[in-house]
Amino acid sequence: MKTVFEKSSAEIKGMEMPAPQVEKHIFAEGLLRDGLRLPELSEQEVARHYTALSKRAFGVDDGFYPLGSCTMKYNPKLHEKLAALAGFADVHPLTRADKIQGSLALIDTLNSYLCGITGMDAFTTQPCAGAHGEFLGLLLIKAYHASRGDGARTKVIIPDSAHGTNPASAVMAGFEVVHAGTDASGDIDLDALRALVGADTAALMLTNPSTLGLFEKNVLKIAEIVHDAGGLMYYDGANLNAVAGVVRPGDMGFDVVHLNLHKTFSAPHGGGGPGAGPVGCKKALVPFLPNPRIADTDEGFRFNYGKRSAGRVSAFYGNFGVLVKALAYIVTLGGEGIAQASETAVLNANYLREKMSLHYPIDTSRPCMHEFVVSMKKLKDDTGVTANDVAKALIDRGIHPPTIYFPLIVEEAMMFEPTETETKEGLDRAAEAFGEIVRLAYADPAAVKRAPVTTPIGRPDEAAAARHPVLVG
Ligand SMILES: Cc1ncc(COP(=O)(O)O)c(C=O)c1O
């Protein structure tokens, strides 16, 4: 598609600059541009250009978006309006605390709700993404061990089903990563874990439900093993959408947690942002939270600077607009509504999995949580059609591909997360589209391998496209 500059025509006058209201200023030699090339297009052409561009993207508002692990749920539009209120959106982050009491109250209120939802004692909203939160959480753990003179705790145990950001964050925070194996049912192998923990264990990082969409039923036992060895439990809260309002990481034995507000708490995301990955912790780690902390004092909300802080991870207080949306979501749903959302997310995932299993062998013997993983290995062995091909064919049927080839421990993995906001009719349509593709794979595999045929481009070199994007032409 041509850019607005390429569409520009000398024949058309795009805009007229208003007559200057001030006296003409003579700039010094060399400071003047020799021209400003703005595209010349009519208003209608500009409207058509941007409308056409918007149609080349696919978002939650376009159709079903079951991207596993990403919780692409519907985001109420009212939240945008609230985040855009001038009193929130136009505040300069360097404004004095006494002039922004409302914004500070909002962060403080959100922190206390997040404590209630997770069973933690305090929160910080500084991290701007899940991985950013992981990094901070691990710095807290490091500072905690160091404060006890326990600097030998250099290893972080991470299950082989974990999201890639977990080991990356651990390494960035200066730890060595040790992989914990999972057993045939996808749970952490307890005997192997007992053999792994020791005086060098700093923490175990876990998401529950796991990236296989399964609730780790031994979580209390795992926490006991890690705590007995002197390590801490880190909760990757990216999968909280299955359990929010039902169980709390704090009650499962976790000491530190990050949440992805851009998933569970309904901030629109994709394409790299915007996000928020607030971190909560138990009392023993509170002194290490980043500065400044917001304190509710007799004179109102004030900034506090703790002496033992593990450091600051954001210039200010995080992605404030996302915090507004998350609080709006929590307040709108309330405790019961949040639990209901989680239960519906789990119900929808189980329903979709059952429906899809009518078309393709899927093990449904153990209930899944908010997402589930299907291996397309049999389809590949039988027909040559891969998980990637099925994902591409879903695009032609108006469905965003699920996550594919993750988690790494499942061959030809496709991970579906329908979320609670999809209707039964939408789920039925998705299961039918999946079945249609499976049938086509057996009848005419080449047709599936040609997909997608309804998009401007079909099969780019995805690694090259991400690393060397060509944004024009
Ligand atoms: C399980 C899990 N952990 C961590 C992350 C990282 O979150 P973010 O993408 O906000 O950095 C994700 C993101 O998909 C995730 O699914």
Is residue 473 pLDDT above 80, yes or no? no
Q: Is 293 exposed, middle or buried (0-12, 13-18, 19+ CB in 10 A)?
A: buried
Ligand 1, pocket-test mutation among 126, 163, 207, 403, most atoms within 8 A of CB? 163
| CA angle at 268 for the pair 265 and 271, rounded to the nearest 5° | 130
Protein residue with its CA nearest to atom 9 in ligand 1? 130
Work out whether the CA dihedral 91, 97, 102, 103 comes out positive or negative.
positive
Q: Tell me how far the alpha carbon of residue 213 lies from the centroid of ligand 1, in angstroms.
A: 14
Protein residue with its CA nearest to atom 8 in ligand 1? 130
Locate the ligand 1 atom nearest the alpha carbon of residue 275 and give its number.
10
pLDDT band with cut points at 50, 70 and 90 for residue 113? very high
Residues of the chain with CATH 3.40.640.10: 77-333
- Specify the CATH architecture of the domain 77-333: 3-Layer(aba) Sandwich (3.40)
Q: Tell me how far the alpha carbon of residue 67 lies from the centroid of ligand 1, in angstroms.
A: 12
Ligand 1, pocket-test mutation among 65, 67, 69, 73, most atoms within 8 A of CB? 69
Q: Tell me how far the alpha carbon of residue 81 lies from the centroid of ligand 1, in angstroms.
A: 26
Protein residue with its CA nearest to atom 6 in ligand 1? 130
Is residue 341 pLDDT above 70, yes or no? yes
Locate the ligand 1 atom nearest the alpha carbon of residue 262 and give its number.
10
Residues of the chain with CATH 3.90.1150.10: 337-467
Protein residue with its CA nearest to atom 16 in ligand 1? 69
Crossing angle, helix 130-147 and helix 165-172, to 10 degrees? 40
Residue given tokens 């520009």 in the structure block? 8
pLDDT (0 to 100) of residue 108: 97
175: which residues sit within 8 A by CB, 6+ positions away?
A: 138, 142, 154, 155, 156, 202, 203
Q: Tell me how far the alpha carbon of residue 130 lies from the centroid of ligand 1, in angstroms.
A: 5
pLDDT band with cut points at 50, 70 and 90 for residue 177? very high
Q: Tell me how far the alpha carbon of residue 399 lies from the centroid of ligand 1, in angstroms.
A: 22
Locate the ligand 1 atom nearest the alpha carbon of residue 263 and give its number.
10
pLDDT (0 to 100) of residue 46: 93
pLDDT, one tens digit per residue, over 302-316 is 999 999 999 899 989
Protein residue with its CA nearest to atom 15 in ligand 1? 238
Q: Tell me how far the alpha carbon of residue 238 lies from the centroid of ligand 1, in angstroms.
A: 6
Give ligand 1 pocket residues (Cβ under 6 A).
Answer: 69-70, 129-131, 163, 165, 207, 211, 236, 238-239, 260, 275, 277
299: left (phi over 0), alpha (psi -120 to 50) or beta: alpha
The domain defined by 337-467 folds into: Aspartate Aminotransferase, domain 1 (3.90.1150)
Protein residue with its CA nearest to atom 12 in ligand 1? 238
Is residue 466 pLDDT above 90, yes or no? no
pLDDT (0 to 100) of residue 84: 96
Is residue 70 pLDDT above 90, yes or no? yes
pLDDT, one tens digit per residue, over 401-447 is 999 999 988 999 999 999 999 999 999 999 999 999 999 999 999 99
Q: What are the residues facing 280 on neighbouring strands?
A: 123, 257
Summary mean pLDDT of the chain: 94
Locate the ligand 1 atom nearest the alpha carbon of residue 132 and give its number.
11
Locate the ligand 1 atom nearest the alpha carbon of residue 131 and give its number.
11
Locate the ligand 1 atom nearest the alpha carbon of residue 211 and give its number.
1
Task: Give the DSSP per-residue string, 255-292.
Answer: SEEEE-TTTTT-----TT------EEE-GGGGGGSPSS
Protein residue with its CA nearest to atom 5 in ligand 1? 130
pLDDT (0 to 100) of residue 471: 74
pLDDT band with cut points at 50, 70 and 90 for residue 121? very high
Locate the ligand 1 atom nearest the alpha carbon of residue 70 and give its number.
14
Q: Tell me how far the alpha carbon of residue 277 lies from the centroid of ligand 1, in angstroms.
A: 9
Is residue 13 pLDDT above 90, yes or no? no
pLDDT (0 to 100) of residue 29: 87
